[in-house]
Structure 1
Amino acid sequence: MARAASVISAATLATIGLATPGHAFAWGHTGHIEISGLAAEALPREVPAFLRTPLAIEEISQLGAEADESKTTGTVTGVANGRISTTFTVHDAERDPGHFIDLDDNAFVIGGLIPLTALPTTREAFDTAQRAATNPGKQDQYASGYLPYEIMDDFQQVRKDFGMWRAFGVGLRTAKTRSDREYFAYELALRERLIIRDIGYWSHFVADGSQPLHVSVHFNGWGAYPNPNGFTTAPIHAQFEGAFVKNFINFNAVRANVRPYTDRGVSTIEARVPLYLAETLSQVSAVYQAAKANNNDNYQTPQPAEVAVATRQLAAGVAELRDEIVDAWRQSENITVGFPLVTVKDIEAGRVTVTPDTFGAD
């Protein structure tokens, strides 16, 4: 699969001041476009055909990096020692914490109050609980990160997109007039473009969830925590996810390591995401152990153990993204659309006749 060159060079990324101290661009440009593209390639035939065309696959692939490309939206305030400083903006303050969540070794969100296995239903409730945690006032959603909620939010948008697409498809097939057919044909085509965009953007955060250093307090060196294994405290985050992946990972090997579909034994995205992130969290020690076993190579050279852990986690991101797209499609028949609300299932079964007024009667 072709992958277009990044519009932001590695040198440029190195000079940009990140809005979230300590957290870098997960997987780097190469990792993100490959995870998104490989997942799109792996979609089964049950998913609508427009998503499985070469163009759609390539667009989803390139959009996989979009959430990083759109960072640092402020104006330049100065340049010193080759480093660009920018103003902090609403865009970055609100979005950057969606790329990570800081979990301790017991899978509690930093602050020690909320376990990954019992996340509150909404981001608002999560933030409220975090503010009551140890060291109050410093462990809100912005300090801890809210990656699980970003993944769930974007999944729900794609599921809604699919539901709208299904309803518009029925409307096109059953329209009685030329104007109605034109309306549904336009809306169907527009929704397809939106679905490709929304999947591409969302794919970034699902991929972030397979990078162990994006779900751990040990995100850039082991840090000031108990360290019985003597893992490195040197910065390893950027090298692990960026230059190492670009220079040393064979993406045919990543493709070969993608597991078959699984629903993880649950039926909702709210139950699925914590299981996925817990699986990733379990690999944090493996990232550090691979570096230590090679004299703290720290992902500078293609040591076999380091290549293996990166390959495994990239493949985990591909598999999870493919599976969540499939789940969004399967669940979309139960989505409600229009006003007053009707279910997609009723529309497809012919129990509801869909017209332009279903969506535009105000």
Structure 2
Amino acid sequence: MLHRTRSFRAVFVLVIALAPLAMTFAWSAPGHRTITRLAIALLPDDVPAWLREPDAVEIAAYQSNEPDRWRGTRTPALAHENNGDHYIDLELLTDHKLTLRTLPRLRYQYVDALIRTTAHGNDAGTERRGVISFDPEKIGFLPYAIMEHYAKLVSSMNTVRILETLADPARERQLAAARANVLREMGQLSHFVGDAGQPLHTTIHHHGWVGDNPKGYTTDSGFHRYIDDDVVALHALNLAGLDTYRTPMAAIRSDSVWEATLALIERSFDSLEPLYDLEKSGELQQDPGKVFIAKRMCDSASVLAGLYYRAWLEAEPTEQQVESFVKYNALAAEESWTAKKESRTADRP
């Protein structure tokens, strides 16, 4: 449907003219917020009440857009650290003798594997000299971003649970700050899990089909933004709009977080050609398109809820962790120093 493809391209000419620094973000801001809200709504009753309070939900939802705001801050260091975290182009892994299911579990192990399989075809001394003859950002780091933000969430939740265990009135501000950290990490984890549910974040065909195109799929570079902005808005896929399609929280064990992450990315990649088929037939703007996009968003929310819940369970503190926090947080020592300083000040003539 190239005539329709041209029509949605025209919409983006105006957008680009008005916002030259805009970038393409999965689901855009409303979609990421919706996924966050739905994930929290799917959590079981034994999750603490403060996580469900309306203000807490909206703070987490706001934070779900922070990684895209980083992309809008044009500084080389931030772009280098963050941009590749939003996707993984699975087709490019084969050049490095890798598949999604054979990826190493840690980021720099992955980079090492990419380097080691890039030396073929180059000068024999390339790898020994430490010259990286590829750009890892072109392949992407999405599963690693999810795992790392999940780990940060476990850490932040652990601190909250330690402070709740201590139940010390003198630490009320620390507890409030620790809970704010949890909401920040919940939002940022949500962003990357949301990205993983978007088929165009798993492929080289992220802004229209590239290379051989026997099925005649759209090659329009505005296709990605069309999905994230126009299609989501057209079908009113907010929290209420997803209610019919929501699925229960994914059951994720402590030893299956990596597996759950890969499985979500795999389901999105398997949905790639069906997405392009819907665009080609014109059904993306009709009920089949609504159902398709809703299911991808709900898949992300289901996995995200499972990660939230698993993180909370994993964050239960040991007695040693509580003791170490008290020791190294050194609140009593800080209060003693403050009291002594105030006493010396009061004694001055």
Both structures adopt the same fold (TM-score exceeding 0.5): yes
Structure that is richer in helix per residue: 2
Inter-partner Cα distance in structure 2 for 1:17 and 1:66: 14
Q: Is 1:120–1:126's contact at 8 Å kept on the other side of the alignment?
A: yes
- Quote the offset at 1:288 in angstroms: 0.6
Which sections of structure 1, spanning at least 5 residues, go unmatched? 1-8, 19-23, 75-87, 173-180, 334-343
Residue 309 in 1 paired to residue 295 in 2? no
Aligned counterparts of 1:13 and 1:34: Cα–Cα separation in 2: 26
Say if 2:35 and 2:298, in contact at 8 Å, map to a contact too. yes
Deviations 1:171-212 (A, max 9, x none): 12xxxxxxxx24433322211111111111221111111000
User: CA–CA distance in 1 between the matches of 2:29 and 2:296?
Assistant: 16
For residues 215 and 102 of structure 1, the distance between their equivalents in structure 2, rounded to whole angstroms, comes to 5
The aligned counterpart of 2:243 is 255
Give SS of 2:313's match.
helix
The residue number in structure 2 matching 1:83 is none
CA 1:216 to 1:280, structure 2 compared with 1: closer, same or farther past 3 Å? same
- 1:267 aligns with 255
Q: Please show how residues 294-305 of structure 1 align to structure 2 within 5 Å.
A: 294=282, 302-305=285-288
Does 2:97 match 1:113? yes
Contact 2:96 2:113 in 1 (8 A): no
Alpha-carbon distance change, 138 to 101 in structure 1, aligned in 2, over 3 angstroms: farther
Match of 2:55 in 1: 55
**Which residues of 2 match residues 210-289 of structure 1 at below 5 A?**
210-225=197-212, 227-235=213-221, 236-251=223-238, 252-263=240-251, 267-289=255-277
Taking every aligned residue pair, what percent have the same amino acid on both sides?
24
Contact 2:90-2:204 within 8 A present in 1 as well? yes
The residue aligned with 2:76 is 89
State the alpha-carbon separation in 1 of the partners of residues 253 and 323 from structure 2: 35
TM, length-normalised to structure 2: 0.79
CA contact (8 A) 1:170 1:354 kept: no
Q: Deviations over 1:189-241 (max 9, x none)?
A: 2111111111112211111110000011221222114x443322223111111
The CA distance in 1 between the partners of 2:71 and 2:235, in whole Å, is 26
Instruction: For residue 276 of structure 1, report the CA deviation from its aligned partner.
Output: 1.5
Alignment match of 1:149 (pick from 141, 144, 149):
144
Please report the RMSD computed on the Cα atoms of aligned residues, expressed in angstroms.
2.7
Equivalent residue letter for 1:43: L
Distance 1:16 1:110, change over 3 A: farther
Q: What is the deviation of 1:292? A: 1.6
Corresponding position of 2:43: 43
- Partners of 1:71 and 1:116 lie apart in 2 by 25
Q: 1:126 touches 1:141 (CA, 8 Å); kept in 2?
A: no
Aligned to 2:117: 133
**TM-score (structure 1 length as normaliser):** 0.76
Distance 2:84 2:18 in 1: 18
Q: What is the correspondence of 1:307-346 to structure 2 with a 5 Å cutoff?
A: 307-333=290-316, 344-346=317-319
Task: Give the equivalent residue in structure 1 for 2:156.
Answer: 161
CA distance in 2, matches of 1:13, 1:305: 32
SS in 1 for 2:90: coil
Which structure's relative contact order is higher, taking Cα pairs within 8 Å and 6+ residues apart? 2
2:16–2:22 CA contact under 8 A, matched in 1: no
Q: Deviations over 1:237-284 (max 9, x none)?
A: 111112221233333242321211233677232222111211111111
5+ residue gaps, structure 2: 1-13, 123-131, 334-349
Deviation at 1:317, TM superposition (A): 1.5
Partner-residue secondary structure (3-state), 1:257: coil
Relative distance call for 1:66 and 1:316 in structure 2 (3 A) is same
The CA distance in 2 between the partners of 1:91 and 1:250, in whole Å, is 31
Q: After superposition, what is the alpha-carbon deviation per residue over 1:81-103, rounded to whole angstroms, capped at 9, x for unaligned?
A: xxxxxxx5211121011111101
User: 1:45 and 1:355 mapped to 2: Cα distance?
Assistant: 28
* Residues 113 and 248 of structure 1, relative CA distance in 2, 3 Å threshold: same
Q: Which residue of 2 aligns with 1:356?
A: 326
Equivalent residue letter for 1:240: I
